[in-house]
A and B are shown apart, each in its own frame.
Chain A
Amino acid sequence: MSVNSFKFMPRTLAESLKVWPYVDTSGEEIPWTRPVKPVGESKVALVSSGGLYHRDDVPFDLDRERREPLWGDPSFREIPRGISQQDIRAAHLHYENSHALKDYNCMLPLAALEELLADGRVGSISEYHLTFMGYQPRLGTFIRETAPRMAERLLEMDVDLVLLSSG
């Protein structure tokens, strides 16, 4: 792989990610769902780990992370389709949030998705998109509770195709 985004990080962080105790999935097969619909007929949702939330919603808990630096808020939030820029807030202590506060599409490209819908490149767009805060060294709660709930929520909205991005 030639993509190397370590160059954007302070050295201590880059070195830590190289020796990070990632969850060992080597003994399991990678899951695979064969698409039954063409992309142009699929209902699409976005999922971002960039810590965005609606200003009327509960923020991700950064104060606890400031007190306990190896804890990260494991919950998720919903962002309605068509949310305005002024209704977006961002809470992530590992990203510079000001960019998303100028234009949230740099983390959650809802405007681009609307353009592709207008061009017939996707079938429809989910009513809500999901966000969480991706810094979670201890993933227990996220894996056992949050991830299954997110999947459930997407299925409830009849989503076919999920586009995830890390911030």
Chain B
Amino acid sequence: MGLAQRGMEERGLVTISLTNMPFVTEKIGVPRAVAVEFPFGMIWGRPGESQMHQDILARMLEAVEAIDAPGTIIELPYTWPEEDFRKRDWFPSEPTPWLASQEGINEMLEFLQHGDPLE
């Protein structure tokens, strides 16, 4: 995501991203970002939470006008409700392939140690 954003900005587009992994976003370095502590698959809020989707979008637009230095990440004050946390319904129902077998995990470990992300 971050690399695609950098490429778009290089071509003259104004870009901002919504991330739940500012740890990663910071490493890659993007022009503008906002961060929320929401799970993958529902990064704009739960299905049907139209007010939350709209609030995040409005904050992103404000951030576009406020951010004046590349690499800025603004944390938004939204957290996943504690009572929802117990549902753990963001885990994929089909197991992620690389985590599903010892062979996949070994292949991933090899990649983590010696892999080339640009291959």
User: Taking beta carbons and an 8 Å cutoff, which residues of A are in contact with B?
Assistant: 1-6, 8, 10, 12-13, 16-23, 25-26, 28-33, 35, 38-39, 42, 47, 49-50, 65-66, 69-70, 92-100, 102-103, 105-107, 109, 111-113, 115-116, 121-122, 132, 134, 137-140, 142-143, 146-148, 150-152, 154-155, 159-167
Contacts and interface: CB of A to CB of B under 8 A. Distances in A.
Nearest to A44: B61
Given A107-B41, A166-B18, A161 B54 contact: no
Nearest to B76: A3
B58 A121 contact: yes
B17 A166 contact: yes
19 contacts: A16-B112, A21-B117, A23-B28, A30-B71, A31-B6, A31-B9, A31-B70, A35-B14, A70-B108, A95-B40, A106-B49, A109-B53, A138-B117, A139-B117, A139-B118, A150-B7, A162-B15, A163-B17, A163-B18
Contacts of A163: 15-18, 57, 60
Contacts, number: 272
B105 to A, nearest CB: 7
Q: What band does the interface of chain B fall in when counting residues whose beta carbon is under 8 Å from A? A: 35 or more
Contact of A31 (B21, B31, B96): B31
B8 A165 contact: no
B107 A69 contact: yes
Nearest to A49: B1
B96 A167 contact: no
Contacts of A103: 47-48
Given A22-B28, A42-B14, A5 B97 contact: no
A162 B33 CA distance: 11
Contact of B13 (A38, A155, A166): A155
Contact of B6 (A18, A25, A35, A142): A25
Nearest to A148: B7
